[in-house]
Amino acid sequence: MPKEAHKVVVIGHRNPDTDSICSAIAYAALKNRTSDLVCEPRRAGKMNQETEFVLKRFGVEPPRMCTDVNPKIRDVDYREMEGIDGSTSLRRAWQIMRDRDIDTLPVVNADNELLGVITVKDIATANMDVFDTAVLAKTHTTYRNILETLGGEMVVGSEDGVCTAGNVHIGTATPEMLENVVEKGDIVILTNRYESQLCAIEQEASLLIICNDSKVGKTISRIAEETGVNIMTAPFDTYAAGKLISQCAPISYYMTSENILKFTRVTPVADVTRVMAKYRHRYFPILDENGKYCGMVSRRNIINLRKRRMILVDHNEATQAVEGFDQAEILEIIDHHRIGSLETSGPVYFRNQPVGCTCTIVTQMYDEQGVEIPPQMAGLMMAAILSDTLMFRSPTCTPLDEATARRLATIAGVNLEDFAAEMFEAGERLDGKTPEEVFLQDFKVFMCGDLRFGVAQGSYMTHSNLQAAQSLLMPYLEEARRKQNVEDLYMMLTEVPRKESVVICTGRHAPEMLRAAFDSEPQEDGSWVLPGVVSRKKQFIPAMMDAYQEL
């Protein structure tokens, strides 16, 4: 089974911010050093410019994207077994099925591309068709297959020969009778009777199979060689050889090659289950990312599916979690937000502290585990704290956040103030960015009862950059609301030095909710100025939740 199926995904919320990405990276590194788990940091969306700057600054590769953790075939303990060549004989295919305890075999070419499947039912059907005496010619069976199936030895001719014409006869009758039935190109199964062997050669048979490991006389061999007749010997008697001869045919003739029911490694298990319920096959082939065959999956594999395992950081809201989280096994939640709507199927380790940043909590956990923080990880966690606390200006910031960030800056070997200025400048640049890209840099969905509303936030160090963002986003808001499928939509444009936010909004209830939440009125341009409001988590969302509950 693919190793990634056993990995624990450490992941933040959709539309990730710097804390979401950096806490996933730092916590996965800690778990890998202090537990038996194999953890991998992932991201649930595109990174914003600020986060890209931070990762590049400290030389860290961005986590791989993961937008859906619904179980897929790659998460299943499917059977990794080699495919077989289409020239394989029916009997050899049956032996492989018996030895591997499987009733379906994939047929592949030299490039491991799936050509078809052969089942034990196909083999049984072929063996029941005992009256088809031309089967070896129809299927272009190789002499090599006949030798392998009968355990024979080539006496005259080449084992690379192929049956191209004629019927199969068992020559136990008299030579006179053989003259009436054997035609040019036929295959004749004989005993050691010299007269019968000579008669079959004179009738221009293409192949003689001499049973019971009987010696072939020099004269017969010479005449056969001169007339182009091939001869092989076999240890079986004529009855057994006759029973086995049809099993020499290649499986390519009997395999299913059209409308093959197959899956890829990324096919959702839910889709596989629906197909398996409709079709009664026991095994189905799987293709990898390059379209090449890589294994077989059965109902038993699906029943024994091991759920994806996850650790959530920087969120505990169902609306913010990656798609399919409810089909995964959540092991831990490390967060600093309000207790949200996310439910788990069993008890989990849940650590939630009223601090300004998840990375503050992760730093504590490094200390509690006695693990030294590498400079690279220290830089990431420091940047996350600066980002989430707006360089200690946010009301969510605690003395612990500031002390932690300053300590991490020392470990990382950077000047905290200079780095913060560079980071915020990188994050607020709008050059070449679309309204959607700016909007999704830090967007979250919240629920109040059955009502969904969304809140995005952008932080700016200068008023001119804030106004530029406002002009870019204002015409886009209604389109964003429809795309995000929310009732109301708010965009917080936070000017960090002035400690205030400009809010632009759309939706049926949005203006009414802002009036109720902040006792404020809109400006002439339709925006709302909220002095002192810089934190979405601690100031904006609680006030909006109270207003929506009244609604």
Domain with residue 180: its CATH number is 3.40.1390.20
Residue 487 and residue 500 in one domain: yes
Residue 175 and residue 201 in one domain: yes
17 occurs within a structural domain: yes
Residue 328 and residue 367 in one domain: yes
133 occurs within a structural domain: no
Return the number of other C-beta atoms located less than 10 Å from residue 227's C-beta. 12
Full strand arrangement of the beta sheet holding 64-65: 64-65, 39-43, 8-11, 309-313, 329-335, 349-352
Residue 467 and residue 515 in one domain: yes
pLDDT in tens, 405-450: 999 999 999 999 999 999 998 888 888 889 999 999 899 999 998 8
Q: Is the pLDDT of residue 25 over 60?
A: yes
509 occurs within a structural domain: yes
Euclidean distance between CA atoms 448 and 461, whole angstroms: 32
Residue 421 and residue 311 in one domain: yes
Up-side HSE of residue 349: CA atoms within 13 Å toward CB?
7
Residue 526 and residue 422 in one domain: no
Write the CATH number for 279.
Answer: 3.10.580.10
Q: Is 252 helix (H, G, I), strand (E, B) or coil?
A: helix
Percent pLDDT > 90 in the chain is: 77
pLDDT in tens, 252-306: 999 999 889 999 999 999 899 999 988 878 899 999 999 999 999 998 888 888 8
Choose one of 395, 427, 459: the last residue of a domain.
427
Residue 420 and residue 461 in one domain: no
Token pair listed for 19: 């804390």
105 occurs within a structural domain: yes
144 CB-contact burial (10 Å; exposed 0-12 / middle 13-18 / buried 19+): middle
Residue 421 and residue 441 in one domain: no
Up-side HSE of residue 209: CA atoms within 13 Å toward CB?
28
Q: What is the pLDDT of residue 245?
A: 92
455 occurs within a structural domain: yes
Write the CATH number for 330.
Answer: 3.90.1640.10
pLDDT in tens, 166-207: 999 987 667 888 888 889 999 999 988 899 999 999 999 999
DSSP 424-491: HHHHH--TT--HHHHHGGGEEEEEETTEEEEEEEEEESSHHHHHHHHHHHGGGHHHHHHHHT-SEEEE
For residue 513, what are the domain limits? Answer: 435-550
pLDDT tier, 1 (very low <50, low <70, confident <90, very high otherwise):
very low
pLDDT in tens, 93-103: 999 999 999 99
- The stretch 200-226 carries a mean pLDDT of 94
371 occurs within a structural domain: yes
Q: What is the pLDDT of residue 432?
A: 82
Q: Is the pLDDT of residue 40 over 90?
A: yes
Choose one of 403, 427, 451: the last residue of a domain.
427
132 occurs within a structural domain: no
102 occurs within a structural domain: yes
Q: What is the pLDDT of residue 2?
A: 45
The total number of structural domains that make up the chain: 4
Q: What is the pLDDT of residue 267?
A: 92
Choose one of 265, 282, 303: the last residue of a domain.
303
Residue 164 and residue 233 in one domain: yes
Q: What is the pLDDT of residue 173?
A: 65
Residue 445 and residue 524 in one domain: yes
Write the CATH number for 497.
Answer: 3.10.310.20
Residue 62 and residue 107 in one domain: no
Q: Which residues of 299-335 are buried (b: 16+ CB within 10 A; e: fewer)?
A: bebbeebeebbbbbbbbbbebbbbebbebbebbbbbb
Residue 110 and residue 258 in one domain: yes
